[in-house]
Structure formats: structure tokens, C-alpha cells
Structure 1
Amino acid sequence: MLSKWAAVKNFDPLKMSTRDVVVHLSTNVFAGSDTTAIALRAILYFLMKNPEKMKKLQKEIDDAQRAGKLSAVISDKEVRTELPYLTAVQKEALRIHPSVGLLLERHVPAGGVTLCGKHIPEGTIVGINPWVTQHDPKIFLEPDQFIPERWIETEHNKEQLATMEKSIFGFGAGSRGVVGM
């Protein structure tokens, strides 16, 4: 990555400064290790604070293993297809305690955008802290409670589930995913 960014900087110093290269490198280290550690701590913390949910998760894993649905090293696909409660636990833990507490910046696209009745010109940097959207009581009832079941119970309500999914700013696969998802 460093060699690619250095090549861009050397080709067009106005496109990428030395500061930009350092920021990108730091971000990759931060995103790759620190966020993973925070995510794992959050998942384990909430499971230990909620032993009934830990038991439910353990039963799901044991049942899937006994049924021969899991390989020796559980794949991402197996988690998504065979362990729905584990998936819900991951989402819920990272919803309550996101790995990143910073403003997640985006640039307003060409032509600008109107948000909440206000026009924001193109190129403006906008963003929101994940803690804000992920604790919105209009989207997540009892937002401070660890309720993995909310992700399973809303599966029949596609609109509500889509709203919840759009409100999550975790890290993992894709730009807005949960670790292991």
C-alpha cells in the first residue's frame, strides 16, 4: 500500500501529500488491528454480562456442530448460514459499542445533496459518529440494552431490518460490515 501511495504522491504531489500517506497508513493499522480487538472485547463483554445469551449462543454452536453443519475452522459462510444467533450477537455488540468512535467522514457528491431540508454543497465533508445512529431509539428500541434477538425478530419486517442495517457503521467485510460478516 505504501508503494502505491508513494507512487501517486511522486506522480502528482497535489493529489496526495506526505501527510495523506501517513494518515492512510495509520488508518490501515488502526482499522486492521485496533477495531478487531475492540470488536472482540465488546462481543465477549456483552456475552459475559448476559449469561443467558451466552448459553443461547453456545447451544446454537453445539447444535450446529453436532448436526455436522460446521467445519473444523468455521468459515464466514457457515457463520452467516448456520449461526444466525452468533451473527446477531456480533451486530448487537458492535451496535452498542462500535469499534470506531470518530466521525466517519464522507464527501458530498457532485451537485450537492439536501438533508433535512438543508442544501449541502458538493465537496463538503459530512459525517456522523456511529454512537449516534446506533443508539437512536427511533430505530433501536431500548438502545442501551444488549438484545441480539432484535436482529432475528425483525427478519420478517424487511423495512425495519433494512433501516437497522443502514444504521450500523461497524468494520469488517465491505465498508460497513460486522467483523466476520
Structure 2
Amino acid sequence: MKAVTVTILKKELNEHSHQELIDICLKLAKFKKENKELLTYVLFDSRDEDAYIREIKEEVDEAFSKLNHDSLYYVKKSLRKILRMLKKYIRYSKKKETEADILLYFCGKLKELKPSHKRSLQIVNIYEQQLRMAKKAVSTLHEDIQYDFHLEIEELQGN
């Protein structure tokens, strides 16, 4: 089965009643966990972006506390898992300020990781890539907001 375009979906949804739209949304939420998470963000978390960011940071803290330090392989695997989770949350929000804040927080947690994993080129590359992505997101923001983020970026770039 081939999916139709968003434009066709929009036209079709305009022809449905309010109750039918509710049923469609609930059916989507039951179908996949990501759909339920997106619906939760749209209905509850999008109103208070700061609380949403705090919630994500708490999840990051918990994930970093559970990191398996037995080998670099497990650390890299866990870091990639955390990043997948963060990218999903960033995709829900679509706000560059949220993206920059979350990515800089991740970089900060990665930098203070003990024992230091600077000897691993892959982990260093993950860190630098996320820092570049945060810089890119910051560059699209208003100048006043950029200043605060630039201070944080400079602190992360310092050894």
C-alpha cells in the first residue's frame, strides 16, 4: 500500500466530522508509540516548552546515570540510543531554541562524563557533531537568545 501526499490527506480530513477526527487520532495513537508521544506533545507539552525541556533533561540525566562503562562499545551504543531519543523529541517540537538547548545539554553531560572518553575517536566525533548541530540551530535564533547560547557553547568548547 502506497501512502498518499499530505495535501490529499488534508483535503480528506477536512471532509470528516469532529467526532470522526477524534476517532482517527485515537486510532493513530493506539497504532504506534511515537504517534502517542507526538499527540501527547501537541496536546499537553507544546503549551509549556520550558517544562518539556526540563522533562527531557531529566530523561537524559537518568540515561547517563545508567550508562554501562564496561567497554567503549557499550558507551557508544548507549550514547547513540540517547541521541535517537533526543532527535525524536526535537522533531516533535520543531523549535530551534529547544533543539539548541537539548543538544547543548547533551554535550555538557557528555563532556563531564567520568571516566573521560576522549581517547575514543567515535565519542569525540559524536560530541563534535552534536555541538555543530547546536551551533547551527543557535545561528537561526534571535540575537539576544544567541548570546546566552554562545556563552554555553564557548564553555563547552574550552578544554
TM-score w.r.t. structure 1 length?
0.22
Give 1 or 2: higher strand fraction.
Answer: 1
The structure richer in helix per residue is 2
TM-score, normalized by length of structure 2?
0.24
